[in-house]
Amino acid sequence: MPEDRSNENRPSPDALLEHAEREGRGRLRIFLGAAPGVGKTYEMLMSGRARLADGIDVVIGVVETHGRQETQALVEGYEVIPRRKVDYKGRMLDEMDIDAILARRPALVLVDELAHTNAPGSRHPKRYLDVQEILTQGIDVYTTLNVQHVESLNDVVAQITKVRVRETVPDSIIDQADDVEIIDLTPDDLIKRLEEGKVYFPNTAQRAIENYFSPGNLTALRELALRRTAQRVDEQLLNHMQSHAIQGPWAAGERVLVCLDARLGGAARIRYARRLADRLRAPWTALHVDSPRSASMPEEDKDRLANNLRLAQQLGAEVTTIPGQNVAQDIVRYATANNFTHIVVGRPTRSRWRELIEGSLTYDLIRNAGDISVHVISGNERNSEATSRNVRTADEQTQFQIWPYLLATAYVAGSLAFAVLLDQFLDVRNLAIIFLIGVLASAVTGGLWPALYACLASALAFNYFFLEPRYTLTIRDPESIVALGVFLVVAVIASNLTVRVQRQAIAARSRARATEDIYLFSKKLAGAGTLDDVLWATAFQIASMLKLRVVLLLPEDGTITVKAGYPPDDTLAEADIAAARWAWEHNRAAGRGADTLPGAKRLYLPLRTGRTAIGVVGLDNDKQGPLLTPEQQRLLDALADQAAVAIERIQLVADVDRAKLAAEADRLRSALLTSISHDLKTPLAAIMGAAGTLREFAPALPEQDRAELLTTVLDESERLNRFIANLLDMTKIESGAMEPNFAFHYVGDIVGSALQRAKKIIAEHKTEIDIPADLPMLKVDPVLFEQALFNLLDNAAKYAPAGSTIRVQGWTDNGSVILQIMDEGLGIPPGDLERIFDTFYRVRKRDQVRAGTGLGLSICRGFIEAMGGTITAANRTDRSGAVFTIKMPKPTNPPDLGAACADDNDVGDLGCG
Amino acid sequence: MTNTNVRILVVDDEPPIRKLLRVGLGSQGYAVSEAPNAKAAIELMEQEKPDLVLLDLGLPGMSGHELLRKWRDDGLDIPVVILSSRTDEAGIVNALELGADDYVTKPFGMNELVARIRVALRHKFQQQGEKPVFQSGDLSVDLVKRIVKVEGKEIKLSPKEYDILRILVQHAGKVLTHHFILKQIWGDSTDVQYLRVYVRQLRQKIEKTPDQPRYITTETGVGYRLRVD
């Protein structure tokens, strides 16, 4: 296929794009070392000097010499950008001054220790982010990095050295680097340098050698560094090959390709490829070549192939399907183009004589593979791999239909008429070609059997009408016999080919449509935020793609229940519940058409991800017989996989949220304990102190002091009492045990009793009450409402200065009753307006926290909301001070007072009337 | 009236409370007997014939409620003042319905308790000879002539308003449950909110600041009380 080849020789667009994006950026060179002390900084400074000598504008952004003399000497002659001093908790830290570098705009800047974490408050938390910014400004950067700081190797290094490094650099930085230079030193040389005191001061050095710098550790780290660099070079190479359209493979990094077809043993091949890839630390791909023959495979084979591809995906392979004619050549071409170094195939299974005729994929592959290693795997998994389906599926063979044959007859008749017209102009034998048109038309419209029927009919008609003697079925001329024979053969072959092409086109179209649908579905799922959305989208998609009724069941409280359905339906018969549960528990299909519980109305199939089982999907329709064709079953598998992953994602998010919530609750609990112990102990200390003093020294104390101590005891006791009452109220709210005892009450009455109770607390404040007498009665719990008001009065007294006025006012407003408590204190900081209702939140009043529990307002809100009202805080606009607004709904059915008033003949002016 | 001959039975399981009451009430001249539980209380009731009982509702074993019911069933009409915690309005109402005379909530001030005790005792001693004219601050109520005056001016009340005021005056200083008042005036059938309407009207007529009543105070969740000076 010459056209294909020219395509492949063009540079890959992705590679070119990536290349273009780098234009205008500075170039990044990383000096990568296996361990501290190998000489990265030294090498970086040397390289920089070479550039300086070339006349390039090089400056030092930051270089740590660690007191090493050789390195120190190299810094001489460079322009060094002064470091920025950062004050962090009293310590002065030196940080690279990125602004100074950007302002200075050198051509190249040297930045030591890429993995460095910046002092808090810097522009970027990490130095590599600084470097990225410098690069975007078109300035080149040289930097140094130790392999243990590479994110993906962090765990490995920790395993090797038993030291976990906290400062890491993402791998993408290394991938972005234009050059990675490895600074390599043999372990012996490094240890020697250490012992000579060239890396650390001698006493530190000895300890370091014993722990971190053991020869074993160093060898392992060195290997890691070399490997990582090789991997990076490999990527560069691939990029280079793709952008320069060079045919591979080049011996570089390893890549594993496993070829999958419908044969048995696929799972063994996949597992082998996975192990091979793991061992080589190589990426791996599962490839299926979709040849024309695939369309006519038995359903069992199609299932097996689909299962194999799914298995490969679950084990981490990239799965690719390419169309092709010659499987062996296509595999080799794909492997070469993508630089694969290993191909895993199955052992030949065809008998020898079929191999002679059809050729052997395995041998063709080995012959054509060139430099690529070919691994031939025998799979003996017959039993385990026998398709695991236990569901009867519908036959895809359609019933016999008469109309294609009628149509074929019509085409043949048409051809005949045309041939009769042309009879006088053409040689008889050429007329056969005209019949071929009819045969091909029949093949296109009707398929194979009508086409064959058209062949036969055409041959007979040709013979009858045109071959001498005409109008008989006998043939005189031997040449004509040959001509008729040739016509038949050509017609059969042509119609066969036509039908095959037709089938492929149809298969490709339906595959494209299914792929498109699945893609759109996955996009829809990715956008769905809630479990309900995902479930609904899944049910709808399956229902509309497979023309079935769908229910989705998820586990809940140890059983499995319907969560969504399309069309919506949540009634399950006993048999269906049993089948669904069986499917869930055994992770196998059950119900209609399955081996287990076939009496159920629906077919139940488990939904699962690679990790775990998620739920069950139930399907049914109005027709009799099996629900799904094998093709549909595979489609369903694909949809179910997508849905399962999406559901799992949402559930995991919910788990994370729950964990966060639990952590928050923990935090609250500890805050609670701290606060409670403080608030309980302070008044107790005062009480005990005062009482103790009185008992021990009463006779020596002047009368006035004794009275004062006694007042302290009483006041603090009352404070303690209020606090305990608050705690009890809070417990009531939080335990949800609050059952308001609703009845109709006058707001004025409750305000009155709250004021009465708060009399002592607000003794030093003036009060102003403005509650209109005609305010409607409210349906509230008087105890809770009074407590809420009491807490607000208490709060006002606490935050407003003595002598100021506390105002309580009420009015009706559009179906609500509004009650406001206003004080003349400093007001509430705007940022705290919502938070003041939080448990244990206290507004700081300048430098001190007012004595209080931080519970009062939170209780207020809890009580008011329990009674169906709202409470908000704001600052007064007319003057300084806070205003708390309670909004209660006006009762819809106020009490009918007529009955009570009826027998009271001297009716007053209120209420009755 | 001196308190020397008055004996008070304290029923409470908490020794510190008993000690406090012994000292506190003793200093006011009352004779105090102590019982830590219902059983001891029943014995002391028979032996010492106290004039008043201070009863904690949360007793171990037989509860305060049960003890009170037993005494009332036995026909003892001795004044009983309940000691209770603030959050237990239902328990208080229940005890008052069972025939307790009044209540104080823990923690309580000694002067408040003594005032309650005085009121309860006064009712005991006054039951035969009711004073015909009640006087508190500017309010005077003549129960014989059915005349109500505030600051010397006669106030016109509706029959129901007067009935409520009369009942409050007859039990001046005592807390009256909603249920008790309703039963006295309407029989059993009426809703508490009617009472609230009438009390509100009554306050409008006799109180200077009806929202901060001086005479008829609300005992939230329990009932009303007519304050006496």
Which residues of chain A are within 8 Å of residue B197 when distances are taken between CB atoms?
897, 900, 910-912
Q: How far is CA A157 from CA A206, A418, B50, in A?
A: 21, 83, 87
Residue A509 clears pLDDT 90, i.e. is over it: no
CA-nearest residue to A776 within chain B is B197
Residue A776 clears pLDDT 70, i.e. is over it: yes
* Inter-chain CB proximity B221 and A895 less than 8 Å: no
B211 touches chain A (CB under 8 A): yes
What's the fold here for domain B133-226?
Arc Repressor Mutant, subunit A (1.10.10)
| A83-136 pLDDT tens trace | 888 777 777 778 888 888 888 889 899 999 898 888 877 788 889 888 988 988
* Length in residues, chain A: 913
Which residues of chain B are within 8 Å of residue A782 when distances are taken between CB atoms?
220-221
Distance from CA of B7 to the nearest CA of A (A): 28
**Facing residues of B155 across strands?**
B148
Q: What is the mean pLDDT of residues B61-88?
A: 88
A762 touches chain B (CB under 8 A): no
Residue A288 phi, psi dihedral angles, 5° rounding: -125, 130
Burial (CB < 10 A; 0-12, 13-18, 19+), residue A717, is middle
Count CB atoms within 10 A of the CB of residue A604: 31
| A405-422 pLDDT tens trace | 888 899 989 988 888 888
Count CB atoms within 10 A of the CB of residue B4: 9
Which residues of chain A are within 8 Å of residue B88 when distances are taken between CB atoms?
none
* CATH code, A765: 3.30.565.10
| B88-108 pLDDT tens trace | 788 889 999 898 999 998 888
Q: ∠ CA(B156), CA(B158), CA(B162), 5° rounding?
A: 85
* Inter-chain CB proximity B200 and A748 less than 8 Å: yes
A499 and A537 assigned to the same domain? no
CB A717 within 8 A of CB A683: yes
Query: Would you list the domain boundaries of chain B?
Result: 7-126, 133-226
Strand order through the sheet with A549-556: A559-566, A549-556, A613-620, A603-608, A590-591
Domain count, chain A: 5
A265 within a domain of the structure (yes/no):
yes
In angstroms, how far is the first alpha carbon of chain A from the final one? 102
CA-nearest residue to A748 within chain B is B211
- Look at residue A6 in the predicted model and tell me its pLDDT: 44
B88 touches chain A (CB under 8 A): no
* Inter-chain CB proximity A769 and B217 less than 8 Å: no
* CATH code, A266: 3.40.50.620
A651 within a domain of the structure (yes/no):
yes
A89 within a domain of the structure (yes/no):
yes
- Look at residue B190 in the predicted model and tell me its pLDDT: 67
Closest CA to A249 of A177, A343, A346: A343
A283 and A173 assigned to the same domain? no
A160 within a domain of the structure (yes/no):
yes
A59 within a domain of the structure (yes/no):
yes
* Inter-chain CB proximity B204 and A910 less than 8 Å: yes
CB A898 within 8 A of CB A909: no
Helix axes A266-280, A299-314, angle to 10 degrees: 20
* Inter-chain CB proximity B220 and A746 less than 8 Å: no
What mean pLDDT is reported for chain B? 86
* CATH code, A157: 3.40.50.300
Q: What is the mean pLDDT of residues A225-236?
A: 72
A743 touches chain B (CB under 8 A): yes
A710 and A818 assigned to the same domain? no
Considering only CB atoms, B161 lies closest to which of A773, A903, A908, namely A908
Does an H or E element contain A503, and which? helix A478-527
A687 and A745 assigned to the same domain? no
Q: What is the mean pLDDT of residues A645-667?
A: 80
What proportion of chain A, given as a percentage, has pLDDT over 70?
Answer: 84
User: A155 by DSSP, 3-state: which?
Assistant: helix
d(C-alpha A442, C-alpha B209), whole Å: 105
Which residues of chain B are within 8 Å of residue A906 when distances are taken between CB atoms?
156-159
Q: What is the mean pLDDT of residues A708-731?
A: 84
A681 and A787 assigned to the same domain? no
- Look at residue A893 in the predicted model and tell me its pLDDT: 72
A337 and A475 assigned to the same domain? no
Residue A845 clears pLDDT 60, i.e. is over it: no
- Look at residue A389 in the predicted model and tell me its pLDDT: 53
CA-nearest residue to B86 within chain A is A725
Strand order through the sheet with B153-155: B133-136, B139-142, B147-150, B153-155
A744 and A716 assigned to the same domain? no
CA-nearest residue to A897 within chain B is B194
Which residues of chain B are within 8 Å of residue A769 when distances are taken between CB atoms?
209, 211-212
Bond into A598 cis (ω within 30)? no
Complex prediction ipTM = 0.74
Closest CA to A135 of A27, A17, A59: A27
Residue A567 phi, psi dihedral angles, 5° rounding: -65, 150
Contacts 24+ apart (CB under 8 A), A635-638: A635/A514, A635/A518, A635/A545, A635/A546, A636/A542, A636/A546, A636/A605, A637/A306, A637/A310, A638/A514, A638/A518
Of the listed ranges A179-193, A235-249, A795-809, the least confidently predicted one is: A235-249
- Look at residue A855 in the predicted model and tell me its pLDDT: 76
A82 and A208 assigned to the same domain? yes
Distance from CA of B80 to the nearest CA of A (A): 24
- Look at residue A913 in the predicted model and tell me its pLDDT: 37
CA-nearest residue to B159 within chain A is A904
Residue A884 clears pLDDT 90, i.e. is over it: yes
Distance from CA of A610 to the nearest CA of B (A): 56
- Look at residue A895 in the predicted model and tell me its pLDDT: 63
d(C-alpha A364, C-alpha A355), whole Å: 11
Q: What is the mean pLDDT of residues A260-266?
A: 78
Closest CA to A253 of A234, A277, A280: A234
* Inter-chain CB proximity A717 and B107 less than 8 Å: yes
**Tokens (6 digits) for A396:** 């895809």
Site from B110, B212, B214, B215 to mutate, A interface, most A CB atoms within 10 angstroms: B212
Which residues of chain B are within 8 Å of residue A740 when distances are taken between CB atoms?
none
Burial (CB < 10 A; 0-12, 13-18, 19+), residue A280, is middle
What mean pLDDT is reported for chain A? 80
A176 within a domain of the structure (yes/no):
yes
**CB contact set of A643 (below 8 Å; sequence gap of 6+):** A525, A534, A538, A542, A552, A607, A617
**Tokens (6 digits) for B119:** 């009121």
Considering only CB atoms, A753 lies closest to which of B87, B209, B218, namely B218
Helix axes A703-734, A856-866, angle to 10 degrees: 40
B55 sits in the region (left: phi over 0; alpha: psi -120 to 50; else beta) called: beta
A451 and A371 assigned to the same domain? no
Q: Which residue has better confidence, A332 or A899?
A: A332
**Tokens (6 digits) for A832:** 């705290």
**Tokens (6 digits) for A110:** 């040297």
A147 and A177 assigned to the same domain? yes
Distance from CA of B73 to the nearest CA of A (A): 30
B86 touches chain A (CB under 8 A): yes
A722 within a domain of the structure (yes/no):
yes
What proportion of chain B, given as a percentage, has pLDDT over 70?
Answer: 92
The radius of gyration of chain B's CA atoms, rounded to the nearest angstrom, is 18
Confidence of residue B35 (pLDDT cuts 50, 70, 90): very high
A31 and A167 assigned to the same domain? yes
- Look at residue B1 in the predicted model and tell me its pLDDT: 47
A220 and A348 assigned to the same domain? no
Of the listed ranges A200-209, A411-420, A543-552, B168-177, the least confidently predicted one is: A200-209
| B178-187 pLDDT tens trace | 888 988 888 7
**Facing residues of A806 across strands?**
A767
Domain boundary among A731, A751, A778: A731
Confidence of residue B8 (pLDDT cuts 50, 70, 90): very high
B197 touches chain A (CB under 8 A): yes
Residue B24 clears pLDDT 50, i.e. is over it: yes
What's the fold here for domain B7-126?
Rossmann fold (3.40.50)
CA dihedral for A145, A147, A153, A158, sign (positive or negative): negative
B189 touches chain A (CB under 8 A): no
Range of the domain at A552: 528-567+613-731
Residue A143 clears pLDDT 90, i.e. is over it: yes
Confidence of residue A240 (pLDDT cuts 50, 70, 90): low
Residue B52 clears pLDDT 90, i.e. is over it: yes
CA-nearest residue to B105 within chain A is A721
| A451-489 pLDDT tens trace | 888 888 888 888 888 887 888 888 888 888 888 888 888
Closest CA to A115 of A153, A82, A88: A153
Q: Which residue has better confidence, A230 or B101?
A: B101
**Facing residues of A108 across strands?**
A58, A140
A897 touches chain B (CB under 8 A): yes
A471 within a domain of the structure (yes/no):
yes
- Look at residue B131 in the predicted model and tell me its pLDDT: 66
Q: What is the mean pLDDT of residues B117-145?
A: 78
Q: Which residue has the tokens 């609990």?
A: A669
Residue B45 clears pLDDT 80, i.e. is over it: yes
Bond into A555 cis (ω within 30)? no
Residue A898 phi, psi dihedral angles, 5° rounding: -55, -45
CB A780 within 8 A of CB A745: yes
Which residues of chain B are within 8 Å of residue A783 when distances are taken between CB atoms?
89, 220-221
CA-nearest residue to B212 within chain A is A752
| A535-584 pLDDT tens trace | 888 888 888 888 888 888 888 877 888 888 888 876 778 888 888 888 88
